[in-house]
Amino acid sequence: MPDQQHVKYLLSEDQIPRAWYNIIPDLPRPLSPVLHPGTKQPVTPDDLAPLFPMALIMQEMSPDRYIEIPEPVRDVYRQWRPSPLYRARRLEKALDTPARIYYKYEGISPVGSHKPNTAVAQAFYNKEEGVKKIATETGAGQWGSSLAMAGAFFGIEIEVFMVKISYQQKPYRRSMMQAYGATVHASPTNLTNAGRSMLAKDPNNMGTLGLAISEAVERAATSGGTVKYSLGSVLNHVLLHQTVIGEESLLQMAMADDYPDVVIGCAGGGSNMAGLIIPFVRERLGKDLNTRFLAAEPTACPSMTKGVYAYDFGDAVGMTPIMKMATLGHDFMPPGIHAGGLRYHGMSPIMSLLHEEGILEAQAYHQNGIFEAAVQFTRSEGIVPAPESAHAIRAAIDEALEAKEAGEERVILFNLSGHGHFDMGAYDSYFAGQLQDYEYPVEEVRAAQGRMPQVDEAALA
């Protein structure tokens, strides 16, 4: 019998997980090797050493199912973890649904999202290896804020390339990064070859996440070893660090005497969704459950619903290693939707593989429907969600309405990846009726996919 009393399920500090769960050894088939952008041969740890500390490179390729969380990282996690799991009782009532809706709330971290779960771990391993400075990119500003905070905790200088459209739409995210002590540039900049060549083609270029990644990677790669690089999503070690979300949720669902039929996350590069679902995927594979997993993405940048599963670059100009993933083409320029954190052309290789294997479903949503769901959620649960997280809310509400139609007691769990306190400009546009619903840009995607790297996969095997 599911618990009928509580609104939130809280764990104690000593229930913060002691290990991250690495799904790589449990995947239904092996991940395709990551390739060097020049030779198109599998990368070696030495190839990645200019960008990342060795401990993270080893995690990226680790065959170990569990990796112990270092005590200094757990110490920082204690600042906000364990995060609460809520039962959305008021939302259920508003929808008049027999479904039970639960959400894990990652917006209680100091910066307001799940991203510090990996930022703190990455800063720790960089510090251990004597790194003094890290360059990174940020879209909506959540990742830049997270790494800036982690840099402040561990005494590392942080330089952030922030997508220009977000830099203009969200000036207070920039101030926040500066409050933590970081340096912030609007990307494209004149500081890198990648930025300069883009500005030469189009001086009014508003930037993309892929381009900001190119700038930050170039910064590290040309620093002669003095600057490392850090990525806030997509990579295996990032997903690994986020699994604390799902491990805590498993304990909290047990406290509620319940278990989800469907687990939902919004998907940009895939890390918050992965963090929630990966421990539930382990349970499904190990215990023969029928749990469904659903990724919610924007219609304007639908990497899983409309992308191809192929080898592509992680950045816009083709400097990063080549990964097999669901992609729209590395130089595709997604329309300027307000969920900046979801404007990424690709998808993490692990999530892409789970999608290919039919374990992960994906669905794309328009902006206006997203904000409609966000407002309904705000008025029933009181939390103003980030536009990114509102994609998961839309999907959860649709599942609850479907359950009502079918007269089913469906159990729904979603990740509320962050709050929207820095996104009120987007809400203003929605209230003013000025939000555009972008159709999926078929022609541009087709053209971008034509420019992807050619890889002879048969020759790799």
Q: Is 142 in the site for ligand PLP (CB under 6 A)?
A: yes
Q: Is 145 in the site for ligand PLP (CB under 6 A)?
A: no
Q: Which of 297, 294, 332 is nearest to 313 (CA)?
A: 332
Torsions phi, psi for 411 (to 5 deg): -105, 120
What are the distances in angstroms from CA 70 to CA 67, 76, 121, 122, 131? 9, 10, 8, 11, 18
Q: Is 363 in the site for ligand PLP (CB under 6 A)?
A: no
Torsions phi, psi for 276 (to 5 deg): -75, -50
Q: Is 17 in the site for ligand PLP (CB under 6 A)?
A: no
Q: Considering beta carbons, is residue 256 or 396 the nearer one to ligand PLP?
A: 396
341, 346, 349, 441: which one contacts ligand PLP (CB under 6 A)? Answer: 341
Q: Is 270 in the site for ligand PLP (CB under 6 A)?
A: yes
Per the listing, tokens 């040309």 go with 222
Q: Which of 401, 6, 22 is nearest to 247 (CA)?
A: 22
> Which segment (199-207, 223-231, 267-275, 282-290) binds ligand PLP by CB under 6 A?
267-275
33, 151, 268, 321: which one contacts ligand PLP (CB under 6 A)? Answer: 268
Q: Which residues in the 78-137 window bind ligand PLP by CB under 6 A?
A: 113, 115
Q: Is 307 in the site for ligand PLP (CB under 6 A)?
A: no
Residue 336 CB contacts under 8 Å (≥ 6 apart), including other chains: 165, 206, 343
> Which segment (126-134, 158-166, 269-277, 427-435) binds ligand PLP by CB under 6 A?
269-277
151, 279, 418, 441: which one contacts ligand PLP (CB under 6 A)? Answer: 418
Q: Is 346 in the site for ligand PLP (CB under 6 A)?
A: no
Q: Is 386 in the site for ligand PLP (CB under 6 A)?
A: yes
Alpha-carbon span 87 to 104, nearest angstrom: 9
**CA-CA-CA-CA torsion sign (157, 161, 167, 170):** negative
109, 166, 291, 389: which one contacts ligand PLP (CB under 6 A)? Answer: 389
User: Taking the complex as a whole, how short is the minimal distance between the CB of residue 269 and ligand PLP, in angstroms?
Assistant: 4
Could you say which DSSP state residue 97 is in?
-
Torsions phi, psi for 281 (to 5 deg): -65, -40
Alpha-carbon span 83 to 271, nearest angstrom: 17
Q: Is 271 in the site for ligand PLP (CB under 6 A)?
A: yes
Q: Is 267 in the site for ligand PLP (CB under 6 A)?
A: yes
> Which segment (32-40, 81-89, 260-268, 395-403) binds ligand PLP by CB under 6 A?
260-268
**CA-CA-CA-CA torsion sign (397, 399, 402, 407):** negative
Alpha-carbon span 435 to 29, nearest angstrom: 41
Name residue 96's beta-bridge partners: none
Q: Is 305 in the site for ligand PLP (CB under 6 A)?
A: no
Alpha-carbon span 379 to 3, nearest angstrom: 24
Q: Considering beta carbons, is residue 21 or 143 the nearer one to ligand PLP?
A: 143
User: Taking the complex as a whole, how short is the minimal distance between the CB of residue 297 and ligand PLP, in angstroms?
Assistant: 9
| Residue at 251: amino acid letter | L
Footprint of ligand PLP on this chain (CB under 6 A)? 113, 115, 142-143, 233, 266-272, 341-342, 386, 388-389, 417-418
